[in-house]
Amino acid sequence: MKLSNVAVGAALIVASVATGASAENRFVSVGTGGVTGVYYPTGGAICRLVNKTRKEHGIRCSVESTGGSVYNINTIQNGELEFGVAQSDVQANAYDGRAQWEGKPFGELRSVFSVHPEPVTMLTSKDSGVNNYTDLKGKKVNIGNAGSGQYATWQLLEKEGIVNTGDLALATELKSAEAGSALCDGKIDAYYWLVGHPSASTQETVSTCDARLVNFEGKAIDDLVDKYSFYRKATIPAGMYNNAEDINTFGVGATFVSSAAVPDDVVYTLVKAVFENFDDFKKLHPAFKNLKEEEMIKDSLTAPLHDGAVKYYKERGWM
């Protein structure tokens, strides 16, 4: 389903619920991110499990590559997507009415479950002289495309006085899929993003031009983590890429979200498809390897759980 047809799918859901029409007319779409990140395969993994049993429940799931967290939540709010993957900080901002939603909270936003942790991951060229985010002054840095969670995180860091776009020699707004090649081509000195590990795109950049992972740490970061509950300290282990030592950073959680307007039985069906095939789900991406069911229904969730999800979790005795 193309994005232009997503609204049609949403309308079909409403129509089938309202009229009792055949469940064969029910379509849902999942907003993700760039195809080289982890959000896209996350959405694909979820849809694969839903579609596996669609003859039983009549719901067909499709995955969309999008601009990322902010875009996904905005599009859910507009009724053009039923589900999306979003950073936990962006989820919190939308529900509480901060940042892009200042004064206009999305009160109908609903959590479904959390997925993988997403550490802030900064890569630099080997000759950049950057060893920590505090070394970015005078450098050419990619801060992410508008609509991405990466860009939203940069805006919050700037608001808190931790980074300053004006200090950079150049601030580019490339999509995460474009940043690695820009770094290796010498167009930028560094880029950062929030991603689950191991990340194929990160590995490709490291392998292509011997890029380095560097720290994103310090007192200002400690204070930030203390101030905002959706942030947590994080470590990228030594040897995961070409890093001889642990990379110290912070991060968020990737969360799967929806809207209260999406029917309970649709959300229930999706959640059931994931958790009753949980071993299969964990095998669909390396970033899912250490997921635990009980943690996924409470960690990083800053909007209320959808009633359809709650119904399933209560049936399983998790709530």
Amino acid letter for position 262:
V
Specify the amino acid at residue 276: E
Tell me: do 142 and 55 sit in the same domain.
Answer: no
Q: Which of 252, 277, 307 is the endpoint of a domain?
A: 252
pLDDT at 11 over 50: no
**CA distances for 4 relative to 23, 64, 146, 148, angstroms:** 22, 11, 20, 20
pTM of the model: 0.80
d(CA 210, CA 203): 10
- Tens digits of residue pLDDT in 40-60: 999 999 999 999 999 999 999
134-144: pLDDT as tens digits: 999 999 999 99
Checking if the pLDDT of 111 tops 90, the result is yes
CATH number of residue 230's parent domain: 3.40.190.10
Q: Which of 209, 236, 252 is the last residue of a domain?
A: 252
For 18-37, the pLDDT digits (tens) are 333 344 569 999 999 988 88
Mean pLDDT, rounded, of the chain: 90
Domain limit, last residue, from 212, 237, 252: 252
Distance CA 181, CA 164 (A): 24
203 — pLDDT class (breaks 50, 70, 90): very high
| pLDDT, tens digit, 9 for 90 and up, residues 141-176 | 999 998 888 999 999 999 999 999 999 999 999 998
Q: How many domains does the chain have?
A: 2
Q: Clarify whether residues 10 and 94 are in a common domain.
A: yes
Q: What residue spans of the chain are helical by DSSP H?
A: 6-19, 39-52, 54-57, 69-77, 88-96, 149-159, 176-184, 200-209, 219-227, 264-275, 278-282, 293-296, 307-315
Query: For the chain, how long is the longest CA-to-CA vector?
Result: 64
**What is the domain range of residue 91?**
3-115+253-315
